[in-house]
Structure 1
Amino acid sequence: FRAEKSKTRRHLQEFWMVEPEIAFCDLQQLMDIEESFVSHIVQSCLTKNAEELTILERDLTHLQRVSPPFPRIHYDEAVRMINEANAAGVLVPGYEDVVPAIEWGDDFGSPHETYLAAQFEKPVFVHHYPTQVKAFYMEPEPDRPEVCRSVDLLAPEGYGEITGGSERMSDPEKLIAAIEHHKLPMDAYEWYIDLRKYGSAVHSGFGLGLERTVAWVCGIDHVRETAAFPRMLQYLRP
């Protein structure tokens, strides 16, 4: 279930996720796995379901571009691109508004993600987000702790974040400090800390939103069309 009260064409309150966790895997290797995984999904759909996609009037040329490698840009670079577009009065694709400016340290909104993804012909990775806007368990950069080893994969055509992942903290002491910093209940995370109590290894993971991925592949305007019984802010039944 979604924690935030998001009400957009890209959000459901109840959704399915695919959540791989990979041992002995750093952030760069994680991005390699993610782009191979997402590319396989898209190319398999093109091979096996081209007829169905055509019935849905999906423009297949957008999907045919989805193959490794995907562009990779640092959060710092993404902020620069957004603010330059704002200063130049560039419109967000599909919107009637100028790309909104952003301050370093803020998370991206839908217009920001839409603009960034539109600059590339395929999904794009944005990595090393500010630590303050990401989950407590994401590994910070040792020489720049204000950013963490995190990554989001943004799909083109306004579909936004398809996957979100990170390199996980492996040091239990750092993990305890992060839990305390976020003022989270320590007893609720004792089991999570215990996983690292007797040693750990570099490991990473990501989540892929199933309904949003289906919406993107099929070219569906609203994510609710991908679920038989969509749960939204005002709809909890059936």
Structure 2
Amino acid sequence: MKTTIAEVHQYVGQEVTIGAWLANKRSSGKIAFLQLRDGTGFIQGVVVKNDVGDEQFQVAKSLTQESSMYVTGVIQEDSRSPFGYEMLVSKVELINQAIDYPITPKNHGTEFLMDHRHLWLRSRRQHAIMKVRNEIIRASYEFFNNNNFVKVDPPILTGSSPEGTTELFHTKYFDEDAYLSQSGQLYMEAAAMALGKVFSFGPTFRAEKSKTRRHLIEFWMIEPEMAFYQFEDSLKVQEEYVSYIIQSVLKNCSLELERLERDTSKLENIKAPFPRIMYDDAIKFLHEQGFNDIEWGDDFGAPHETAIADHFDKPVFITHYPTKIKPFYMQPAPDRDDVVLCADMIAPEGYGEIIGGSERIHDPELLKQRMDEHNLPLEAYEWYLDISKYGAVPHSGFGLGLERTVAWITGVEHVRETIPFPRLLNRLYP
């Protein structure tokens, strides 16, 4: 019976065959312990010389790190293993003997590991991070499908930008200028007017020359847009969504979080509702904390966000930012024209902004005025103006950055470990 490591719990006491790679091994006289992986998980294979004979035992002892094989044996429960099971091996069939595998069980420098990212992904730590990433994606689809959102795919090549073109990658689209998308938001607004509640999930690109632990050049975003949803409605969806993915990871990735040595007590109580602080009050709070480098009208940097987040034990919404530091499409507050109906969700533990969202302008005249103030070319955005000209309704949306969210939930320090093949300021390989 062929199976996978993830499914061995169904075959306790039975003999099965698994296609696997050797992650590590050790031997003790007449017993060899094989640390096996198959992509779905890790399991220990125990090879006893007296049970398998000299020839098979020598095959097992000669295996090198990352050699591939079919391994056959009986599955048995093992209370000493975090996984809970091990295999009593009866046969090893070598497929490929790996020679001089470059990543050995010792400390390697970050640049070396990044140069070998295609192999580093095989390690237990990276495997655990990718499994958590996958669970967040799975839970996201589940949440939005359960709440009657429709998945829509916006284009990656665009002729304009929702936030200006200063941080966009430029390319030629035959005889026109084009850009790699930094957000699908404008297109998702159009889709919301057709389908009500929509969400997208795809890659976005920022030509921002930043080297911080929170930044990638290419990253993935989940971007919902909702017709007839005002600012408060959107905040409720955001906190329910983040609560949902946190609880899904805790439920389905407990082994991975343990492997990453994540303190799950900091995640277990993260359930809606989340605290809020208005931008005005956040500035006052920072001044009280000794941050005299920021004034009203400035955007927050990483130290400011961390100081605010450390005051709470859940993600916190910072709301009502100044109009002048936010994009053109955000709806003004009803009682003030100097702030807009927007919010950034700041994750605890220094992970910074994971969601940015707002109510969108639906008054065509105001929208055109804002576009003029931002010197945006009308011909490039005429289609976007049509959204508010024909049947305008209040609508809101937000974008969640997947990699920052993965970093926070896993406790990983740098986002470069939260995406399979990171694109950084000075890295386009492998």
Q: 1:73 aligns with which of 254, 277, 283?
A: 277
Q: Distance in 2 between matches of 1:46 and 1:105?
A: 39
Q: 1:162 aligns with which of 342, 354, 357?
A: 354
Q: Does 1:40 align with 2:232?
A: no
What pairs up with 1:1-238 in 2 under 5 angstroms?
1-86=205-290, 99=291, 101-238=293-430
Q: Distance in 1 between matches of 2:262 and 2:330?
A: 36
Q: Offset at 1:187? A: 1.3
Amino acid at match of 1:33: V
Q: Offset at 1:4? A: 3.1
Q: Residues 209 and 75 of structure 1: is their aligned pair in 2 closer, same or farther, counting only changes over 3 Å?
A: same
Query: What secondary structure, in the 3-state scheme, does the structure 1 residue paired with 2:219 have?
Result: coil
1:139-163 superposed Cα distances (whole Å, 9 cap, x missing partner): 0123311100010000011100010
Identical amino acids, percent of aligned pairs: 58
Farther-moved stretch of structure 1 (112-121 vs 188-197) = 188-197
Q: Offset at 1:201? A: 0.8
Q: Distance in 2 between matches of 1:217 and 1:59?
A: 10
Q: Distance in 1 between matches of 2:418 and 2:295?
A: 34
TM-score, normalised with respect to structure 2? 0.52
Report if the CA contact (8 A) 1:82-1:101 is conserved.
no
Root mean square deviation, CA, Å: 1.1
Report if the CA contact (8 A) 1:16-1:209 is conserved.
yes
Q: Distance in 2 between matches of 1:82 and 1:65?
A: 26
Q: Residues 71 and 29 of structure 1: is their aligned pair in 2 closer, same or farther, counting only changes over 3 Å?
A: same
Amino acid at match of 2:222: V
Unaligned ranges ≥5, structure 1 = 87-98
Q: Offset at 1:7? A: 1.8
Q: Distance in 1 between matches of 2:424 and 2:219?
A: 10
Ranked by relative contact order (alpha carbons within 8 Å, sequence separation 6 or more), the top structure is 1
Report if the CA contact (8 A) 1:100-1:112 is conserved.
no
1:109-152 superposed Cα distances (whole Å, 9 cap, x missing partner): 00000000000011000100011111110001233111000100
Choose 1 or 2 for highest CA Rg: 2
Q: Offset at 1:195? A: 1.2
Query: What secondary structure, in the 3-state scheme, does the structure 1 residue paired with 2:389 have?
Result: coil
1:176-224 superposed Cα distances (whole Å, 9 cap, x missing partner): 1101101112211111101111221110000000011011110000000
